[in-house]
Structure 1
Amino acid sequence: SLGLSLPSRLDTVRPAPGAARPAPPATDLRLLRAYDALLDRFVPPSLLVNDRFEVVHTFGEAGKYMRQPGGRATLDAVQLVHDDLRIALGAGLQRAAKERQAASYQGIRARFGENDELIKLTVEPLPERYGDHLFFFVTFEAVRSAPPASPEPRVFEPEDQLRQHLTDVEQELQYTREHLSATIEELETSNEELQATNEELVASNEELQSTNEELHSVNEELYTVNAEYQNKIDELTQLTNDMDNLLSSTDIGTVFLDTQFRIRKITPAVSASFNLLPQDVGRPIEHISSNLEYASLMEDLAAVRDSGRKIEREVRNRAGAWLLMRILPYRTEIGAIEGLVLTFTDITAVRRAQQDLRQSEANFRQLADFVNAIFWLTSPDLRMIIYVSPAYEKLWKRPLESLCQNPVSWMKAIHPDDLEWVEARLNARDPAEEWEAVFRIVHPDGSIRWIRDRRYPVFDAKGSVIRMAGISVDVTESKESQQRLELTQFVIDNAADMILWSGPSGRIDYANHSACAFFGASGATLQGRSVEDLRILPAGETWASVSSRLLAQGQFGWETAVDRGGAGLVPVDVGFKCLRFGNETYFFAIVRDISQLKASERELSRYAAELERANESLRQHNRELDEFAHLASHDLKEPLRAIMTFSQLLSHDLGGNLPPDAVRDLEFITGASARMQRLITDLLALSRTGRGEMRKEIVPLRHCVDSALEALAVRLKETGASIETGDLPSVAGDPTMLTQLFQNLLSNALKFTENSRPVVKIQARRDGPSWLVSVQDNGPGIRPEYAEKIFQPFRRVHVKPGQEGTGIGLAICRKVVERHGGQIWVESEPSGGANFLVTLPAGVETQ
């Protein structure tokens, strides 16, 4: 032991990081130099190696045992030592590191120049760790010089070699003892000197320790303050860089102004509004030319500075771009206004989009207002109405307010037969899928309409359903057309006639069931066959000639016979028509089996011949009957006139000589003869009315009524009757017969109205293609059971003794009306008068 007392805490005099290292005192340098001299003198050649086996420090003449290998520089102790020592050093380091004990090797032969030496190598781990590393102390001790190798080989003798080795060891040991004793003596002397020096160093070290502790405290405080300031500087630098990058990269033109409106900072994007350069910072903004069509900038700046309230305006620059200008106060942390911030955001695209949106909304609303379809938007669960077009009221016939108040009230209009399945489908639907249904709704008036409802999900950017959009269309006409089309298709498919059509090629595209059955083929088999294969074309003609005629004429038909094998030749009527739909041409054919028709025609011909013979016989009988009626009326009237004449002569000749009974009998004979004469006249009129030739012309009914009133003038005067006539039309008919019709109806009304003054109303009104004429009286009326019987010949009701009439008048009226193609009937209640109604074919408008 050298007995040196080194400082125990060298780190106490270590300056703080970043602090200036103080110059060591002169006594410390001398002491260190003394230490180095002592170590070089008294410490054998040694190495200090760390736990990575790297050389940290060398002592004494350790360089004698070290060599720098060629190539890259290294600190590896094994690579740096003499080649003959590498194996021993490597083994010693490994052993000391593993066992934590010293490892020593003796008698290592090493050649230095021309001499060989025996070396003792010791690797000793230091007793404690310094920091995180373990250190090893490696010493090299030369035992003695090895004898030079004999130039001549000798025989190897183990015993001699062993004795020689023991001798060498003893000599080496003796040398080591002597050398160690001398060294100890020298070290004791040096130790006494170093002890005195050490005591001085300890005193100085204590003083330095106190000073170091004070400096260390100050240094820590300064280091803490310095670190805080450095963090603040770094943060401010980062914020400044962020702000500079933000201002340079933003598309928003920004100008920072102080309270005097002087420019403090700008962004490059502001050049679209002001002609600013970086060197304009510090100048008043009113001195900078502006590209804005905006004259009140300075007034607005002053207003914001004074009031502290921001101002937003949409302005336009000279290039036509629209900008959103904001003027905001620049406030400090305590809220004081120390300037203004002027920003300009390009909103040209926004305004254009807003204009396009307004136009789109206007177009949509026009579409929604005028299209007969309901456009709507709802929440995904259909529980909230976002928008419904006005067509809802037109299609649903219900107020729009009720739907907005109750979003599911539209379902109340669904037909009861459709409501259950519509609700089931709505409840089972997936909100993310499209939905469509066709159902019926019932209007408040009971009418039914068909509705096609389609619903589409609307997704956001994340794929979530945010609302449902839909359209409801009235498809009643389409549904009815489809039903009519299906009915038409059913009728065509099941029609008794054979129906088929083809294209210009003559290949059959369709054939109904009757055609398939007639030609003995199925629909699939018949389709694609040529029309010529059916053998229904006119004799000697082909499809090319027939289709050419159809294209030229449009349609034509013919009769032919089709050979049906065992059924023989069957006559058919074929009709073809050319139809064009756009650019397509089709040929439509109806083939009718006329075998029954031909048989019926033959039968009808036979019946027609028989009927003609019967008609001729009937015409002959009518002629004979007319002659008989004329002769009978003449022959019957002649005796009656004689009876009436002689009865009158007898009454005149006898005068007052006749007894009362005879007078009564003569009056009875005369009255009976007169009634018989009227009956014969009415019978003749009835016969002529049913068979006589009728003229057809436009007859004003007013003229017919006036003629009838003239004929009944005496009777009208006697009864004091009132005739009320409305606007009467003109009809197509025979004027004589129509006059007779009104005369008989008026005479009948006057005849049966006795207890009061007769009142007769004649009116007319249009009833479709005919005129309905009414003749209403105030007589006793006719009971319903007699309403039909009164129009039969000789049937009279409510007849009193002595009342005129033959029962032929109303029968004649029915004959006249029926020959004009009309009808006559009576509507009446007992004691309520009778109203005779007549329909006559229309002629021209009422005059």
Structure 2
Amino acid sequence: MPPVRRAHVRWRRPRGGTATFADSRRAAVTIEDGLATLASLASVGVQLGASNTRADEPLEQSRLLAAVRYRTLIEQIPAVTFLASLSGGKNEIYVSPQIESLLGFTQEEWVSDPVLWYRQTHPDDRDRVSQKFGALCLTGAPFRDVVRVMTRGGETVWVHAEARLVRDEEGQLLFLQGVGFDVSDQYRAREAHEELIREQAARAEADRERDRLREILSGLPAAITLLRGPEHTIEFLNPVAQALTGGNTDALGKPFREVFAEFAEVSQAIFDQVLSTGQPVSARELRIGCPDGQLARFFNFICQPLSDDRGQLLLAHAVEVTELVRARREVEEALRLRDEFLSIASHELRTPIATLQVQAQLMTRRAHRGDVDALRIQEAFGVVNGQAARLSRLVHQLLDVSRLETGKLELERETTDLVPLVDQLVANTQATCAWHTIDLELPESLEAYVDALRVEQVITNLLDNAVKYSPNGGDIQVVLARGDDEHAELSVRDHGLGIPPEKRADIFERFYQAHGSGSRSGLGLGLYVSRQIVEMHGGSICAEFPMDGGSRFVVRLPLNT
């Protein structure tokens, strides 16, 4: 752009106090010089006294022409220029028309309101701007700052403003002049850049926090998953959770329900509740069904909401408590069985004791009356002997259970011919049960390396059960045979009550009674002790249930050690 030719105007204040025009010539000057000239024309005014002659008219015309040129130049530059008086009264002398395109106020509105500039200054910048303008007036130091100014519509613009004081040749203060450039685009770009940097820093810090969190979660002895969105997409799995997937390496990015199908049914409602309420939800001993017929597993489950720069997350925390639940249930079952056993034992022990007492009282009364004969004494002692034997069996069963539980039950094995042993036990049983017929099949001889007393205990228990649970009498078959080259096999078959199908799986358990309490009840220890003795010999015992009713118990014992 070619240089603009400007007129340099110099003013002189005579002793009389009236400013007069002294000189004018064309020269290249700065915008600030032009502002000074324009301000002088606007604020001081050129008064042509009555004494002026026609010779002064060319000078006046030159001055007015220079003023027009300055105004034209100033009003075309892309900035707001302003002049302000520092004396009382009206402060604003002049503002360029760019004020309207910048802030939405006309020149007249801006000049006519002396505090409009202060009101439109951003509240956060007012104190700073006032202090700097005060320093300008007191010290003469130039004002230079970027100020936020509010437009008529309430928007914010950034203005780079500069101002200085203008004095005459004698140092007298004339006015304040300044210029303001719209630097909003620069500052918005800078703010956007700074905001981008802040966002990047925040995102980097969030990533670091996320990495630290995941490192912590990876070391926890619980299954941890991070889920996002309504589909509960998996974003993170720690090693414990990874193990629950069965080693699935493609779990990330998939919905939770696809990866943890066994958890889906119980967890879906929990996830939805957390998302809808924003509150954590916990569930204790959540039962999870397992495929392939495996036993159920139990988990303490907690789900809580989280958030990051990408939105809402769910943290699912699961601790397996299957062993604790099973152990507690075993304890509860043991306590139940203990209470049941104490009830049964008290009943079973009370019955023979009561019978003994009755017989003793009866014999005492008869003795007092002298009504005692040999036959009645024999009958009474028979009852006493039978009940004493029953008490003895009950006590021995309890002792056997105690020895089995503590590992103190020992076998005293020797080579024993099982044929005479079984034959004698069947004969003893047959002698006490007239309503039953026991059919016996025996080989000539069958030796085995066993504890004869303990095997006798097992066979006696099976024979007693066959009689007890055949209340209407009937046939009982007992067969002893060589099962193979290494085992002897004994079977006891009755045609009695049998065992209900739903109870068959537990008949060898401690204190279990398939038919409940009653006249045929016992301690529920006979089959339990029998199984333990047979297994200690290295053999096996099982129950079969023929279609025509009753039960068949089969014992297999090794012939040699």
Instruction: Tell me if TM exceeds 0.5.
Output: no
For this structure pair, what is the TM-score category when the shorter chain's length is used for normalisation? 0.3 to 0.5
The structure showing larger relative contact order (alpha-carbon pairs under 8 Å, at least 6 residues apart) is 2
TM-score (norm 2): 0.32
Larger Rg: 1
